[in-house]
Structure 1
Amino acid sequence: MRALTPAEVLFDGEPQPAVLPPCDHYAGSEKLIRKSLALQAQLGPVFDITLDCEDGAQVGHEAGHAELVASFVGGEDDRFGRVGVRIHDFNHRAWRDDVRIILRQAKKAPAFIMLPKIRSVFDAAEMVAFIEASRCEFGIRKPIPCHLLVETHGALAEAFELAALPGVESLSFGLMDFVSAHNGAIPDTAMRSPGQFDHPLVRRAKLEIAAACHAHGKVPSHNVSTEVRDMSVVANDAARARNEFGYTRMWSIHPDQIRPIVEAFAPRADEIALAAEILLGAQRAQWGPTRHGDTLHDRASYRYYWSVLRRAHATGQTMPEACSPLFAAPDSESKA
């Protein structure tokens, strides 16, 4: 009898929580888009690229910029299918045109569509529904995941409802706009480290978003680090986002930020080895309780260690060859 895998036995028939590359890198101009795609070709699909229609387009030239973005999605330089797009917000006249231009002209569908400045679950639901209808109209076979940018009071108040929306894959925190929305009540020091992790209102926002995502199996994506010279600051921001706030993904706005973000979110070699040992032992025991050293394990801890291996896979880490049977099922991460 074939050995059952973690994906088959640990989730009681429910979908596994989403795992995405840990870094979401933004690029708006043609020059930066090409540079980002070249770096992705070099490093592999350990980070996503989001082509930016919102901040990248000049006023009055939104359609032309959407056409530029569409020319890169699914093109020869999109080697891994991990290129997404950010469209204009719900109150901007161009957001529907962004969607239609990109889905009509791109060689294949984007990996995801980022929806910025969400103000309510109703706005988000309308945008998601329009994207789905456009996807069907243009004959795109698979649904396109939507990522929502939470940076307003209304969106934060409805974070759990937003995370529960069908078609939504991830929630991101927009730190700068969130702080600005408080009209000076939060000091500008909260827009950067260490203040962004210390101010109570900002801490609350980050924790609400992370909790909402984990409650619904979605990916919480942390805001950018504004530091572009000292990469130790970026690495520390990423480590704190992961270890203290429960984020599994983070934005990047400069190519030099990508490596430290990926490294901060990647499991260590000893964590990977321990997870492999425990899960292989569990598999041999047909997923009943086991003992590893002086510690007892059951399905609760197995799910934790499976998440370690899935994160290792998403960050391009080397795993023991013996792990291959754990990824053997047709619906496993290795077949995604």
Structure 2
Amino acid sequence: MTALHPAQALYSRGKSFPALAACEHYAGSEKLIRKALQLQVNSVHANRPIFDITADCEDGASVGNEEPHAQMVANIICDSGNHFDRVGARIHDIVHPHWRRDLDIIIGRAGERVAYIVLPKVNDAADVQTQINALNVVCKQRNIQREIPVHVLIETPGALHDVWAIAAMPQVESIDFGLMDFVSEHCGAIPASAMQSPGQFEHPLIVRAKCEIAAAALGNGIIPAHNVTTELRDTAVVKNDASRAYLEFGFLRMWSIHPNQIQPIVEAMQPDFADVTDATTILCLGQDAAWGPTQHAGRLHDRASYRYYWEVLRRAHITGMRLPVMAMQRFFT
């Protein structure tokens, strides 16, 4: 009898979380996007990069230059320098007159290769549904057969109120927190100190928002993505912010806005190696027992703990950790 892979055996009632990189690097200009593509090539682990790239139309395009900017983004996504098809695009928000044109251009030129579409500054679930519907209409018009994943930015109180409904939408793959716009939306009620550490992890309204976003995303089987850190030079600060986002709030992905931030974010999102070692042993025992109950080090393990340890092992793989040989042979070949 062929041994069942954990991804097949352990998720009969649902799906495992999307296998997204732990870091999402934002770049707005052609120069910076191309630099990020080269960094992606240099970051490859197990034939995949350790970070995704989001080409930014919202903040990247100057006023009046929206059309050529979207065309540039679409062209780069289709460029031979995009080796892994892990480049997404953030379009303009729903009140901006160019958002539909962003979709027309990017999907029309790069619909088969764009990794995902990011929707910023939505006010509620209805806004998200409107933009997803428009995306799918363009896909149909362009004969794009694949369903393009959508990432939704929570930057307003209204979007936070609807975050569970947004996270439940089938096409949504990630819920992202936009800290600075969220603070600005509160009309001075949240101090500027909450836009950076330690305030961003302590102010009650920000803590509430992060907890709600992470809970909604994880509860619907998708990825919660943490906001940027504004520290560009001190990598220890970056790593600490990413570590707190992961360990204290449950975020599985974080934005980067500078190349110096990528590696510290990825390292902070890695599980402890001792857990990886335990996960390998426990999963091998479980697979040998056809995923029935087993024991290891005097503790009982069943499908619930197998799922937990499979996510530990999968996360270690996604974040570029060197896995035990047995884990690679059994689960990642």
Superposition TM-score tier, normalisation by shorter sequence: over 0.9
Aligned to 2:8: 8
What 5-or-longer segments of structure 2 have no aligned partner? none
Q: Residues 118 and 326 from structure 1, CA distance in 2 versus in 1: closer, same or farther, beyond 3 angstroms?
A: farther
Opposite residue 4 of structure 1, the aligned amino acid is L
Whole-angstrom CA distance in 1 between matches of 2:272 and 2:322: 10
SS of aligned partner of 2:175: strand
Contact 1:223 1:250 in 2 (8 A): yes
Q: 1:109, CA displacement in angstroms?
A: 2.7
- Counterpart among 148, 153, 162 of residue 157 in structure 2: 153
- Counterpart among 185, 190, 193 of residue 186 in structure 1: 190
Aligned to 2:250: 246
SS of aligned partner of 2:176: strand
Q: Residues 158 and 66 from structure 1, CA distance in 2 versus in 1: closer, same or farther, beyond 3 angstroms?
A: same
Contact 1:6 1:326 in 2 (8 A): no
**Aligned residues with identical type, % of pairs:** 53
Whole-angstrom CA distance in 1 between matches of 2:75 and 2:7: 36
Aligned to 1:215: 219
Aligned to 1:27: 27
- Counterpart among 279, 284, 287 of residue 283 in structure 2: 279
- Counterpart among 46, 50, 53 of residue 54 in structure 2: 50
Q: 1:74, CA displacement in angstroms?
A: 2.9
Aligned to 1:41: 41
Runs of 4+ in 1 over 4 A off after TM superposition: none
Q: 1:107, CA displacement in angstroms?
A: 7.5
Contact 1:109 1:144 in 2 (8 A): no
Whole-angstrom CA distance in 1 between matches of 2:296 and 2:90: 46
Whole-angstrom CA distance in 2 between matches of 1:67 and 1:254: 23
Whole-angstrom CA distance in 1 between matches of 2:122 and 2:239: 28
Whole-angstrom CA distance in 2 between matches of 1:228 and 1:146: 28
Contact 1:74 1:107 in 2 (8 A): no
Aligned to 2:315: 311
Summarize deviations over 1:232-281 as a string: whole Å, max 9, x none.
00000000000000000000001100000011111233221110100000
Aligned to 1:331: none
Opposite residue 43 of structure 2, the aligned amino acid is L
Contact 1:87 1:99 in 2 (8 A): yes
Whole-angstrom CA distance in 2 between matches of 1:310 and 1:12: 18
Q: 1:13, CA displacement in angstroms?
A: 4.4
Q: 1:108, CA displacement in angstroms?
A: 3.5
CA RMSD, 1 decimal:
1.3
Aligned to 1:61: 65
Contact 1:73 1:108 in 2 (8 A): no
SS of aligned partner of 1:213: helix
Range that drifts further, 316-325 or 180-189: 316-325
Q: What is the count of residue pairs matched by the alignment?
A: 329
Whole-angstrom CA distance in 2 between matches of 1:308 and 1:107: 32
Whole-angstrom CA distance in 1 between matches of 2:269 and 2:30: 28
Contact 2:286 2:292 in 1 (8 A): yes
Q: 1:326, CA displacement in angstroms?
A: 4.2
SS of aligned partner of 2:39: helix
Contact 2:111 2:144 in 1 (8 A): no
TM-score, reference length from structure 1: 0.95
- Counterpart among 199, 206, 209 of residue 203 in structure 2: 199
Aligned to 2:268: 264
SS of aligned partner of 2:251: coil
Q: Residues 119 and 107 from structure 1, CA distance in 2 versus in 1: closer, same or farther, beyond 3 angstroms?
A: closer
Summarize deviations over 1:258-306 as a string: whole Å, max 9, x none.
0000111112332211101000001111111111112111111111000
Aligned to 1:167: 171
Range that drifts further, 313-322 or 235-244: 313-322
Opposite residue 96 of structure 1, the aligned amino acid is R
SS of aligned partner of 1:251: strand
Q: 1:141, CA displacement in angstroms?
A: 2.4
SS of aligned partner of 2:64: coil
Give yes or no for the alignment of 1:291 onto 2:295. yes
